[in-house]
């Protein structure tokens, strides 16, 4: 029996639906593995289709084409190591999340996912059928067990693989980021290693897909749970994992262990990668955004420049008569610090024209929110005109606090194609700006240093839709608001939980009411980078029509 085994793991970035492109990436990884003397080259879960492909995989024309792509790949990779790759697989009337082992020009073995996640962003029970508990597959004279992603979070799949002769575990994943996710993954995999007493290789994909970012961070564990190898986060990487057979069985040879940054850097990297990949995968090359002089648009501008380079970012100030000189100065300072294009498009004249047009219908009424929102909608109109004319995707700039309580104008400042800070509460916006001013990494295309002036961070937030307007006129102060939102949204808590945490019952009820009545806005809002398990979109799905309120 062989006493050495090499797996080349490919932590790479697929594109959903790009069967040909994903297969090309698989062939490239396989060629690297062949040159390195690998016995097996492994790609992540559902790699051929891309992940998370949602209902697309149920389309017969798509999963038939995916199957043919895998068969063609097998023929292309006949002369060399085995290739393991995830794909949808139809058998009769059933559709499975499968992991194919390609050897000798054919699909030699197929593993089927047994546990289908049906929580947060996953709807696999809707999309796939559950496969039976299965055994390992052979690569040479070595028996490999591959629990597919969620299967490794449960005891029974790994237990069955051990009982049927698996010598080590290779776990292919499409596991998207949320804050603290790596520690959760590691704890589950350590549990499987301790239960089975087998080495385990955890392979994750990397890259952005709609709201989700797959953060990589693949790793290898030896019996006892000892970390043998760790790949970087948010980077494509090919790594060779070597196993040596000793008296106690297989053990992974120690390899490189990448440094993983703290949660502030990881969150920021997610937002940057989300923008970069969303544009690259949808075909856009440039973005624009309304730069108001406030902190949210300043942070989005920094993220955009770090993702795309200053030459691909246009910032537009759209002042009205309520825009302060300070805001004009601050917006200019942000654009200059980042080095991106800065245009000014005044809206006062257009606002007067619209107001006069509506005057006969608005007669005998007092000016209120309707007049204020004309300004915001004019800005959305003008920004979308620029987007259409120059092919630049419009980024929206609403933070999670505003998105939660509807402190945004639908068809106004909510207009746009993507929102990088949609899952970032306002209090974290402040801290993220301070962090970015102090930290610069080689994956950031923007300049180092204080790109967001201190005055932008410290001044009272305002929408500037009327004289002397402040956010605090309408909302609780952001530390209080965010703490209540974290209870009601992130912890799925109650009014009683808010009161137990020391908040006024009426304030908590008011915030809850704002959350519910804003659902229709969120339903029509742009997607944004997911940072938590309770992001707005697939993680949290509430009815738009909803009269229930927690009585407290």
Residues belonging to the active site: 45, 113, 149
The torsion angles phi and psi of 206, rounded to 5 degrees, stand at -140, 155
Query: Could you give the CA distance from residue 214 to residue 514 in angstroms, rounded to a whole number?
Result: 32
Angle between helices 155-163 and 181-196 (to 10 degrees): 30
What residues have CB less than 8 Å from 271, skipping those under 6 apart?
303, 420, 421, 424, 529, 531
Q: 389: buried, middle or exposed (CB in 10 Å: 19+, 13-18, 0-12)?
A: exposed
- E strand or H helix at 401: helix 400-405
Pairing assessment for the beta strands 200-204 and 168-173 based on DSSP bridges:
parallel
State how far the Cα of 545 lies from the Cα of 458, in Å rounded to an integer.
Answer: 38
Terminal-to-terminal C-alpha distance of the chain: 67
| Sheet strands side by side (includes 313-317) | 341-344, 313-317, 286-290, 392-394
Cα dihedral 184→189→190→196 (10° resolution): 150
Residue 159 is given by DSSP the state H
Q: What is the dihedral of CA 184, 185, 191, 192, to 10 degrees?
A: 160
Token pair in block for residue 341: 């294009």
The 3 state secondary structure assigned to 490-520 is HCCCCHHHHHHCCCCHHHHHHHHHHHHHCHH
**Left (φ > 0), alpha (ψ -120 to 50) or beta: where does 101 sit?**
beta
Q: Do the Cβ atoms of 58 and 12 come closer than 8 Å?
A: no
């Amino acid at each position: 029996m062989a006493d050495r085994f090499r797996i080349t793991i490919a932590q790479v970035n697929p594109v959903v639906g790009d069967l040909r492109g994903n297969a090309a990436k698989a062939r490239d990884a396989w060629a690297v593995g062949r040159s390195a003397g690998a016995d097996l080259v492994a790609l992540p879960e559902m790699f051929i289709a891309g992940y998370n492909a949602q209902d697309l995989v149920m389309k017969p024309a798509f999963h038939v084409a995916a199957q043919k792509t895998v068969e063609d790949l097998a023929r292309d990779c006949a002369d060399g190591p085995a290739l393991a790759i995830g794909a949808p697989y139809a058998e009769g009337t059933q559709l499975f999340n499968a992991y194919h082992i390609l050897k000798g020009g054919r699909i030699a073995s197929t593993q089927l996912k047994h546990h289908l996640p049906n929580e947060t962003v996953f709807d696999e029970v809707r999309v796939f059928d559950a496969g039976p508990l299965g055994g390992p597959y052979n690569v040479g004279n070595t028996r490999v067990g591959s629990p597919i992603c969620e299967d490794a979070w449960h005891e029974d799949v790994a237990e069955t693989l051990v009982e049927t002769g698996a010598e080590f575990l290779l776990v292919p994943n499409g596991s998207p980021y949320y804050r603290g996710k790596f520690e959760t993954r590691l704890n589950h995999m350590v549990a499987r290693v301790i239960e089975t007493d087998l080495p385990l290789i955890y392979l994750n994909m990397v890259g952005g897909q709609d709201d989700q970012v797959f953060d990589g961070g693949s790793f290898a564990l030896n019996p006892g749970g000892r970390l043998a190898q760790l790949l970087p986060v948010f980077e494509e990487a090919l790594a060779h994992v070597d196993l040596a057979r000793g008296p106690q069985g297989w053990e992974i040879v120690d390899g490189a262990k990448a440094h993983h940054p703290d949660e502030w850097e990881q969150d920021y990297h997610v937002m940057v990668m989300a923008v970069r990949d969303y544009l690259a995968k949808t075909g856009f090359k440039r973005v624009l955004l309304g730069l108001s002089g406030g902190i949210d648009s300043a942070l989005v501008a920094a993220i955009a420049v770090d993702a795309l380079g200053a030459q691909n970012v246009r910032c537009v100030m759209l002042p009205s008569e309520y825009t302060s000189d300070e805001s004009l100065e601050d917006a200019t300072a942000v654009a200059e610090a980042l080095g991106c294009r800065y245009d000014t498009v005044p809206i006062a004249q257009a606002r007067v024209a619209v107001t006069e047009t509506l005057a006969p219908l608005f007669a005998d009424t007092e000016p209120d929110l309707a007049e204020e929102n004309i300004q915001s909608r004019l800005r959305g109109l003008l920004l979308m005109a620029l987007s259409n004319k120059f092919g630049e995707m419009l980024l929206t700039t609403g933070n999670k606090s505003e998105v939660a309580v509807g402190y945004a104008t639908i068809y106004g400042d909510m207009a746009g194609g993507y929102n990088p800070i949609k899952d970032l509460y306002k209090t974290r916006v402040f801290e993220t700006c301070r962090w970015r001013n102090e930290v610069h990494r080689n994956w950031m295309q923007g300049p180092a240093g204080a790109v967001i002036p201190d005055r932008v961070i410290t001044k009272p937030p305002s929408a500037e839709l009327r004289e002397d307007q402040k956010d605090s006129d309408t909302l609780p102060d952001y530390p209080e608001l965010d703490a209540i939102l974290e209870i009601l949204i992130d912890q799925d808590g109650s009014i009683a939980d808010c009161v137990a945490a020391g908040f006024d019952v009426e304030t908590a009820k008011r915030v809850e009411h704002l959350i519910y009545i804003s659902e229709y806005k969120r339903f029509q809002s742009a997607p944004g980078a997911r940072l938590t398990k309770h992001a707005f979109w697939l993680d949290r799905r509430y009815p738009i029509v909803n009269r229930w309120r927690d009585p407290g």
